[in-house]
């Protein structure tokens, strides 16, 4: 993930406090790097101002690739390279449908999962930054990138505290 | 929550009636054209028709009324529309039932619209019965008595072997049973839903889960069996284990598209304030998904018959594909019922926008009508079948009658179930 090395973490106990805090912090002109939650918080992506994921577009592309791949593969194998007449049928026919369908679904599914893992920094060789282990347990963690924000660290600490954070911790990465 | 009712306005009634009159006019024009010899259409098929007549005479058609193909054409059209609109009405009840069994929250404010479809069932039942009593000899080859006379000139071993299932008393009994039980379940579901309005007890909702489960069990069997009776038995020698699913899939997509379209219409007329683009999204997903389901069933039926290439199976597709009359429709339904809804409703935005739904749903509804046309006509009319004003007019008359029944029953009760336990959840539905 891009970004700096110095962060401030606001720790929150409650998802409703967290959501209003996100609004307050963004309202104060502070850019939020990311929010980590133990479970999906409904509406959090909206208050964070995230755009809708473009994952469906990737899925369509991969699916289309699967369709093209299946048709060219079967066409090349059964009609061009080694023409085979099975049961007196045409080379290219409705018998291509099952393989085409399966490859479309397979590539769309695998492609989508792969894209998702890469985009969300969860590829196998990735070394994700762990901001606060409690975000997998019972705390919501809001990470603010100090290097990207022009607002001073003290000011950010004040805003985070005011917005209802139970604690505000600095965090550095190498 | 309000007790707002749908107002079936005089101007809307007038529009429907005018559409109906146009339908009648088209039907009469179409009928006149067919009776006058249908111009070139009849001429070009005259030779083939004669061939078929000879074939029928030599092969068990002893009881054929002979000639009057226009009468058979009217009967075939009555049958197509009857089966088609019965399906839409039935899917309305089925949709409500699955919402209860799944304990779905999102659909709470829209369930009365599909529920109103059920009011068409008694009319459909009577029409179906009358049509059958009048037209069974013209539409169903297996109803001819002499096919079963062993050693007789028209004896047909295969059809005679199906006598235990395909005989007039049992057939009629089944038809009556399907319709009465469907209708009783519909009245029962409706009674509980309306009782909930009065006392607000969640007991009704719990009870409806049980009733709906019962209906779905009966529907699972009866939808398949009615497809054998009403569609498969037209081509008596042919068989397909897929036909029950196929007819159900076609019905289901049509029903879903009709539900969506009526909800969109009501929404645009200022009703159903609880319905937002999230509900439309769900309905769009239904239409999208079950268009794919229909295609899946279509391929499953076609592919196996194509691959095995057994004459008694492939004859069904031969009749359609090797015919100038039916081959175009064969490809057109694939475009209307699969490629178009698949591509047009693929994105999230399309499913959420009224504009897309208003384009896709009518195409799907017409496409599945054509699907039923293609199931019934080649078997009953052979090459003498046609598509003209007669078909369009008859479909319009049925459509108007159906809408009239549905909308007037919709106007009798509040549009939204104010005491539905999931209503609050549905208002905050967000996907």
Task: Please count the structural domains in chain B.
Answer: 1
Burial class (CB in 10 A: 0-12, 13-18, 19+), B14: exposed
- What pLDDT shows up at residue B61? 39
- What pLDDT shows up at residue A83? 85
All residues of chain B having their beta carbon less than 8 Å from the beta carbon of residue A87 are 307, 309
Chain centroid to CA A50: 11
Q: Is residue B114 part of a domain?
A: yes
- What pLDDT shows up at residue A148? 85
DSSP B337: I
> Which residues lie across from A171 on neighbouring strands?
A7
List the structure tokens of A56: 């469906």
Q: Write the DSSP assignment of chain A as a string of letters.
A: --S-SEEEEEEES-HHHHHHHHHHHHHTTPPP-EEE-SSPPTTHHHHTTPPPP-HHHHHHHHHHHHHHHHHHHHHIIIIIIS---STT--SSSGGGHHHHHHHHHHHHHHHHHHHHHHHTT--TT-----S-GGGGTT-EEEEEETTT--S-HHHHHHHHHHTT-SEEEEEE--
Distance (Å, rounded) from C-alpha A140 to C-alpha A15? 7
List the structure tokens of A44: 């959090």
Q: Is residue B55 part of a domain?
A: no
Helix (H) or strand (E) holding B316: helix B311-321
Cβ distance of B303 and A94 shorter than 8 Å: yes
Number of other CB atoms surrounding residue A77 within 10 Å: 13
| Domain, as residue range, for B339 | 10-36+66-426
The model's pLDDT over A8-54, given as tens digits with 9 standing for 90+, comes to 999 999 999 999 999 999 998 899 988 999 999 988 988 999 888 89
Q: Is residue B266 part of a domain?
A: yes
Q: Is the pLDDT of residue A102 over 90?
A: yes
Phi-psi region of A144 (alpha: psi -120 to 50; beta: other; left: phi over 0): beta
Q: Is residue B5 part of a domain?
A: no
Q: Is B40 on the interface with A (CB under 8 A)?
A: no
Cβ distance of B430 and A42 shorter than 8 Å: yes
Number of other CB atoms surrounding residue B380 within 10 Å: 22
Rg (chain A; Cα; Å): 25
All residues of chain B having their beta carbon less than 8 Å from the beta carbon of residue A55 are none
Distance (Å, rounded) from C-alpha B380 to C-alpha B74? 11
The model's pLDDT over B228-239, given as tens digits with 9 standing for 90+, comes to 999 999 999 998
Min Cα distance A86 → chain B (Å) is 9
- What pLDDT shows up at residue A79? 85
Q: What is the ipTM of this complex?
A: 0.80
Q: Is residue B245 part of a domain?
A: yes
- What pLDDT shows up at residue A87? 76
Q: How far is CA A125 from CA A35, A118, B262, in A?
A: 23, 10, 52
- What pLDDT shows up at residue B142? 93
Residue ranges per structural domain of chain A: 6-52+130-172, 55-119
Q: Is residue B49 part of a domain?
A: no
- Domain A6-52+130-172 sits in CATH at 3.30.70
How confident is chain B (431 residues) per 10-residue block, as mean pLDDT? 83 95 95 74 44 42 54 94 97 97 94 96 96 92 90 89 93 96 97 92 94 97 96 92 95 97 94 93 96 95 89 91 91 96 93 94 97 94 86 96 95 91 90 81
Task: Give the β-pairing of A167-172 and A6-12.
Answer: antiparallel
Q: Is residue B236 part of a domain?
A: yes
> Which residues lie across from B5 on neighbouring strands?
B414
- What pLDDT shows up at residue B268? 93
Cβ distance of B347 and A56 shorter than 8 Å: yes
Q: Is residue B47 part of a domain?
A: no
- What pLDDT shows up at residue A2? 52
């Amino acid at each position: 993930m891009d970004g700096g090395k110095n962060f401030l973490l606001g720790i929150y106990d409650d998802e409703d406090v967290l959501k209003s805090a996100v609004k307050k912090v963004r309202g104060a002109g502070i850019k939020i790097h990311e929010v980590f939650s133990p479970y999906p918080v409904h509406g959090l992506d909206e208050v964070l101002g995230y755009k809708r994921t473009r994952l469906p577009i990737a899925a369509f592309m991969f699916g289309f690739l699967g369709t093209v791949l299946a048709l060219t593969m079967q066409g090349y194998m059964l009609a061009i390279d080694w023409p085979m007449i099975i049961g007196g049928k045409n080379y290219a026919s409705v018998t291509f449908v099952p393989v085409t369908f399966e490859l479309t679904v397979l590539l769309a599914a695998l492609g989508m999962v792969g894209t998702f893992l890469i985009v969300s920094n969860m590829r196998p060789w990735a070394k994700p930054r762990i901001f606060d282990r409690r975000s997998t347990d019972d705390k919501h963690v809001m990470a603010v990138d100090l290097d990207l924000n022009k607002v001073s660290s003290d000011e950010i600490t004040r805003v985070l505290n005011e917005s209802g954070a139970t604690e505000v911790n600095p965090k550095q990465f190498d | 929550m309000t007790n707002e009712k749908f107002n079936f306005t005089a101007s809307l009634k007038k529009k429907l009636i005018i559409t109906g009159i146009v339908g009648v006019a088209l039907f009469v024009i179409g009928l006149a054209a067919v009776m006058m010899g249908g111009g070139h259409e009849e001429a070009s098929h005259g030779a083939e028709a004669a061939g078929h007549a000879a074939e029928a005479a030599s092969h068990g058609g002893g009881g054929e009324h002979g000639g009057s193909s226009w009468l058979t054409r009217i009967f075939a059209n009555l049958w197509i529309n009857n089966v088609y609109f019965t399906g839409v009405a039935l899917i309305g009840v089925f949709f409500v039932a699955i919402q209860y069994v799944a304990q779905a929250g999102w659909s709470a404010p829209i369930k009365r619209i599909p529920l109103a479809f059920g009011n068409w069932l008694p009319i459909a039942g009577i029409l179906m019965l009358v049509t059958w009593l009048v037209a069974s000899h013209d539409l169903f080859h297996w109803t001819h008595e002499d096919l079963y006379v062993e050693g007789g000139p028209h004896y047909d071993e295969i059809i005679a072997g199906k006598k235990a299932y395909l005989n007039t008393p049992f057939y009629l009994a089944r038809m009556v049973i399907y319709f009465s039980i469907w209708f009783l379940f519909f009245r029962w579901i409706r009674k509980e839903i309306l009782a909930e309005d009065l006392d607000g007890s969640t007991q009704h909702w719990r009870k409806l889960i049980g009733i709906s489960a019962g209906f779905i069990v009966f529907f699972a069997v009866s939808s398949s069996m009615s497809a054998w009776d009403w569609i498969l038995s037209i081509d008596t020698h042919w068989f397909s284990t897929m036909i029950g699913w196929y007819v159900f899939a076609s019905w289901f997509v049509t029903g879903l598209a009709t539900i969506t379209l009526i909800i969109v219409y009501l929404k645009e007329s200022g009703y159903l304030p609880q319905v937002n683009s999230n509900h439309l999204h769900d309905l769009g997903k239904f239409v999208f998904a079950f268009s794919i389901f229909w295609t899946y069933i279509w391929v499953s039926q076609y592919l196996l018959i194509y691959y095995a290439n057994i004459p008694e199976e492939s004859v069904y597709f031969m009749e359609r594909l090797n015919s100038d009359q039916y081959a175009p429709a064969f490809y057109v339904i694939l475009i209307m019922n699969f490629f178009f809804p698949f591509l047009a409703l693929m994105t999230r935005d399309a499913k959420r926008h009224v504009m897309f739904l208003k384009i896709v749903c009518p195409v799907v509804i017409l496409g599945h009508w054509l699907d039923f046309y293609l199931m019934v006509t080649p078997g009953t009319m052979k090459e003498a079948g046609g598509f003209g004003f007669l078909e369009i007019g008859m479909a319009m008359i049925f459509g108007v009658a159906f809408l009239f029944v549905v909308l007037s029953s919709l106007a009798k009760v509040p549009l939204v179930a104010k005491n539905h336990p999931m209503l609050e959840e549905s208002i905050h539905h967000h996907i």
